[in-house]
Amino acid sequence: MCGRLSQYHGIHEFVAALSMPNPLVNNAGDQPFERYNAAPTTQLAIFHQEGDYLHADMVRWGWRPHWAKDRAAPINARVEKVAHGPFFRAIWPHRAIIAINNWFEWVDEGGPKKQPYLIRHRDQTPILCAAIGQYPNADHEPGVHDGFVIITADSAGGMVDIHDRRPVALRPELAREWLDPATPNERAEQMVLLQGEPTETFEWFKVGRTVGNVRNHGHELIRPLD
């Protein structure tokens, strides 16, 4: 996953996709986000659950532990290592979902510049990506070290031709189980290792190269290339 995504619906469209009946504590606002070209360090809406409440907060994309001051903040965590490696140990129990509309990858097709592709659900419903992070909760006020990472896995099928890694996307019922604090960590690990959505759920197509500039943010960035 190359580090660019879209989150342009509003929080209530994402709640509807999650189909979660819990009362919502909404710290993300009611307006559409209209982030068509979100890059690392962008504040994005994520969901997490505390008790019976679903929380929506704006959190920075990217996180690193306080002791890793000599490296950039990762934006992704490999599913094969995230549950047991020391780097993400502190936030592995802090599960979240980031709902996105699509993400982008760049492919070397032999031209002078790589060709960007947009990847989305075939039915264009929001993609519920497994994430972990440090974010505001009952025991933690918002802080400068808050952030989240998206869990990624090996691509399969034709998506390998676009990129070798992709976000772990969960069906709504699994996303709700992932968010539930009562779900054991061992069960959560098995979900992201084995139960991510299959390649057949997605479609991808070329888009214009203007998406490569993070200063470009319009709806035209997600249109298929003629």
**Domain range annotation of the chain:** 5-100+126-199
Type of residue found at 1: M
Nearest to 154 by CA among 168, 140, 135: 168
pLDDT: which is higher, 138 or 224: 224
Contact between 132 and 81 under an 8 Å Cβ cutoff? The reply is no
**pLDDT value at 161 more than 80:** no
Q: Cα–Cα distances in Å, from 76 out to 59, 129, 130, 207?
A: 14, 11, 10, 23
Average pLDDT over residues 167-191: 97
Angle, vertex CA 196, rays to CA 166 and CA 79, nearest 5: 60
Report the C-alpha gap between 7 and 195 in whole angstroms: 23
Structure-model confidence comparison of residues 141 and 207, the more confident one: 207
Strand 53-60 relative to strand 24-26: parallel, antiparallel, unpaired? parallel
Confidence label for 158 from pLDDT (cuts 50, 70 and 90): confident
pLDDT at 141: 83
**Nearest by Cα to 34 from 216, 226, 201:** 216
- Cα-trace Rg, the chain: 17
Question: Of 50, 105, 173, 186, which one is the catalytic site residue?
Answer: 105
What pLDDT was estimated at residue 202? 96
- Distance between CA 38 and CA 215 in Å, rounded? 10
Question: Under a CB-based contact definition with an 8 Å cutoff, are residues 10 and 101 in contact?
Answer: no
Residue 27 and residue 65: Cα distance in Å, rounded? 24
Catalytic residue among 2, 13, 177, 203: 2
- 2 flagged as catalytic: yes
At 121, the amino acid letter reads H
Looking at domain 5-100+126-199, which of 2.60.40.10, 3.55.40.20, 3.40.1260.10, 3.90.1680.10 is its CATH number?
3.90.1680.10
60 and 146 in contact (C-beta within 8 Å)? yes
Q: Is the pLDDT of residue 61 over 80?
A: yes
Asked whether the whole model's pTM tops 0.85, one would answer yes
Give the lowest-confidence range in 6-20, 84-98, 158-172, 179-193: 158-172
Band the pLDDT of 142: cuts 50, 70, 90: confident
